[in-house]
Amino acid sequence: MTDRLSALLHEQADLLDVPMPTAHEVITAGRRIRRRRRLTQAGVAAAVVAVLGVGAAFVGGAAPDRSDPDTIATDPQGEPVDLGVVFAVDDTVYLDGGAAEVKMPEVAQTLYYTSAGLLVRTNKTGDSDGGAPFHFQLVGADGKAQPLDLTLGEVVPSTDPTQPYLAYSEADGDGVRVIVVDVTTGEQVARVAVTGLTDWGGWIAPPVALDGDTVYVSDFSHALAVDWRTGEVVPAEHVSPGPPTVVRGRTIAPSDAAAQVVEVDSGDVLFESRGWLRLSPDGRYAIAGEGASGVPVQDLDDGTSVDVGKGSVTYGWTTDDQLVGIVDGQLAVCSPESGRCTTSPLPDGVSSDAFVRLPGFTYES
Amino acid sequence: MARQVSDEAFSEFVHGAWPGLYRTAYLLLGDAGLAEDLVQTALAKTYAAWPSVRDVQAAPGFARTTLLNTASSWFRKRSWRNEVPTSTLPEGHHHADFSDRPAVLDALSHLPPRQRAVVVLRYYEDLSVAETAHALGVSDGTVKSQTSKALDTLRGLLGDAVIPLTTGATHD
């Protein structure tokens, strides 16, 4: 039992000399933060925020006025719904390592973790190029799928595994808007207009990455950070132009070597790789390219690295940071700490050379 | 709750919340100056975000969450990551008398920042594994492994009487 440790911690804490609070300094600092936010909002980009349910839209740099603060009060972050090892082949999504399956009305094209379930992007062909329209199904904790009332064109949407939201952008002659949708209801919870994005390649709107209260949106010249709850838009100084990747405040950026993991807030480089990088759902690990003796996986917290499996395999991630891939026609689940893998047969009817789609990939071309 | 809070009301809130927040901050950081900075930062952010606080009763929890989030962001910075705890365990601390109160804080100072935070959140704040993982922005598995490592170290410093070998898996 840890009762003794707990008791000693409380006794020790009670004996601390607690300095007198400096309420005046706190308030002064608080005002400074508030003022800085307002100035940033006014100076960087015009924002339009419509908080659905309130129905108010605000144009220009002013902070959104909220008649009902509860509608945007900070929600506690959740955990991604645990459906075991998930993957998809054609129009079937497999759960629990293949022990259960869910049929989709179209090809399951991309798998996204959310706190409400596994969100599946579907389309007719499975292709991203020319693949629109894209539809969505949410597989809940009960293993059942329900359609999401949302159809998207060729954009790059994004989820945060700890939240029940999908973010994407849309563009027309009036500019670009970042949109956040509740995947349980299909309702838009935020629309934020951003300015200054012009060239985002072959997609119909700029790619985004959702990380907490922030949607990162970028074109090929710069990236912006959009606080979708407040409408604040600021430059994302440490997020690279191009399709953004941001997980728990960490981003992937190109470097002289090849790629690096960077803290979004500070710009600190956590790790540099000679190969491409792909972050785990909680941002702790990064798959670092390919190695002859396995796939290198870097622990970004501890600074350690292991080679996972043998040879070159394309791995996705489970919700709890295990790697999942197809090795020698078997489903392999591997530890990012030991590098060891356990394998199990693919479900009946799935051939060893099938195109298996894994969470962690956007399947964008 | 009112859209903005008066200085008088917020000062009252600061005086009420400060001691508890400071104790948590000190246990997390082990440094009086840093602890004071952390609490002040958390309360300043609370002031700035006051319209988002659902009601007065929720304000202390909001401030505490903000403090933990701020501490977590500090730990994520490279300078914190590279901070190395005392590498050599002090002689004479094995099987220390657990009634020797400073020994607990001394022992905490031998843990890396993340492990220290896990211990404080789980055994001082009494958070579950999932709540601790959420507060620190890491996975449940990370919390469990960091807890296990931390308790091993603390057991070596404080003795089995404080942390019996059967601990760790039972506190969730």
Q: Are B62 and B46 in contact (CB under 8 A)?
A: yes
Residues B32-65 pLDDT 10s: 999 999 999 899 888 887 776 766 777 888 888 8
Element containing residue A229 per DSSP (H, E)? none
How close B44 comes to chain A (CA, Å)?
Answer: 4
In 3-state terms, what secondary structure has residue B61? helix
How close A300 comes to chain B (CA, Å)?
Answer: 10
d(CA A115, CA A144): 15
Are residues B54 and A73, on separate chains, in Cβ contact within 8 Å?
yes
Are residues A26 and B22, on separate chains, in Cβ contact within 8 Å?
no
Best mutation target, B15, B52, B153, to test chain A (most A CBs within 10 A): B52
The contacts of residue A114 (CB under 8 Å, 6+ apart) are A80, A81, A138, A159, A160, A161, A163, A164, A165, A166, A183
- Type of residue found at B61: G
Are residues A266 and B78, on separate chains, in Cβ contact within 8 Å?
yes
Among chain A residues, CA nearest to B49:
A34
The contacts of residue B70 (CB under 8 Å, 6+ apart) are B38, B41, B42, B45
C-alpha closest to that of A131 among A358, A364, A362: A364
Biggest CA–CA distance in chain A, Å, is: 69
Best mutation target, B123, B152, B167, to test chain A (most A CBs within 10 A): B123
Residue A68 burial (CB count, 10 A): 11
Based on its alpha-carbon atoms, the radius of gyration of chain B, rounded to whole angstroms, reads 17
pLDDT computed for residue A35 by the predictor: 59
Among chain B residues, CA nearest to A281:
B139
The contacts of residue A35 (CB under 8 Å, 6+ apart) are none
pLDDT computed for residue B76 by the predictor: 60
Candidate from B47, B104, B140 with C-beta closest to A9: B104
C-alpha closest to that of B153 among B114, B115, B125, B118: B115
Q: Chain B 52-71, CB below 8 Å of chain A: which residues?
A: 52-54, 62
Element containing residue A235 per DSSP (H, E)? strand A233-235
B77 — contact with chain A (CB < 8 Å)?
A: yes
Phi, psi torsion values for B23, nearest 5 degrees? -60, -45
Question: Does residue B87 register a pLDDT over 60?
Answer: no
Query: pLDDT (tens digit, 0 to 9) for every residue of chain A, 365 residues total?
Result: 678 899 999 998 999 999 998 888 888 888 777 655 544 444 444 333 433 332 223 222 323 322 222 222 233 346 788 788 999 999 999 998 888 899 999 999 999 999 999 999 999 999 888 889 999 999 998 889 999 999 999 999 999 999 999 999 999 887 899 999 999 999 999 999 999 998 888 899 999 999 999 999 999 899 999 999 889 999 999 999 989 999 999 999 988 878 999 999 889 899 998 888 999 998 999 998 766 678 999 999 888 889 998 777 789 999 888 899 998 888 999 988 888 888 889 998 898 888 999 999 888 76
A245 against B99, higher pLDDT: A245
pLDDT computed for residue B4 by the predictor: 67
d(CA A153, CA A78): 29
A76 contact residues in B (CB cutoff 8 A) = 134
pLDDT computed for residue A257 by the predictor: 75
Q: Are A260 and A271 in contact (CB under 8 A)?
A: yes
Are residues A8 and B40, on separate chains, in Cβ contact within 8 Å?
no
How close A270 comes to chain B (CA, Å)?
Answer: 7
Can you give the pTM of this predicted structure? 0.58
Are residues A8 and B46, on separate chains, in Cβ contact within 8 Å?
no
Q: Would you place residue B166 in the very low, low, confident or very high pLDDT band (cuts 50, 70, 90)?
A: low
The number of CA neighbours under 13 Å toward the Cβ of A320 is 16
Candidate from B134, B162, B163 with C-beta closest to A77: B134
Are residues A34 and B164, on separate chains, in Cβ contact within 8 Å?
no
Q: Are A324 and A96 in contact (CB under 8 A)?
A: no
Candidate from B73, B105, B163 with C-beta closest to A2: B163
In 3-state terms, what secondary structure has residue B149? helix
Candidate from A12, A18, A26 with C-beta closest to B101: A12
How close A290 comes to chain B (CA, Å)?
Answer: 25
How close A107 comes to chain B (CA, Å)?
Answer: 31
d(CA A50, CA A42): 17
Q: Are A135 and A105 in contact (CB under 8 A)?
A: yes
In 3-state terms, what secondary structure has residue A325? strand
B102 — contact with chain A (CB < 8 Å)?
A: yes
How close A324 comes to chain B (CA, Å)?
Answer: 17
B168 contact residues in A (CB cutoff 8 A) = 2
Candidate from A21, A32, A284 with C-beta closest to B138: A284
Distances (CA, A) of A112 to A102, A121, A215, A284: 15, 8, 16, 18
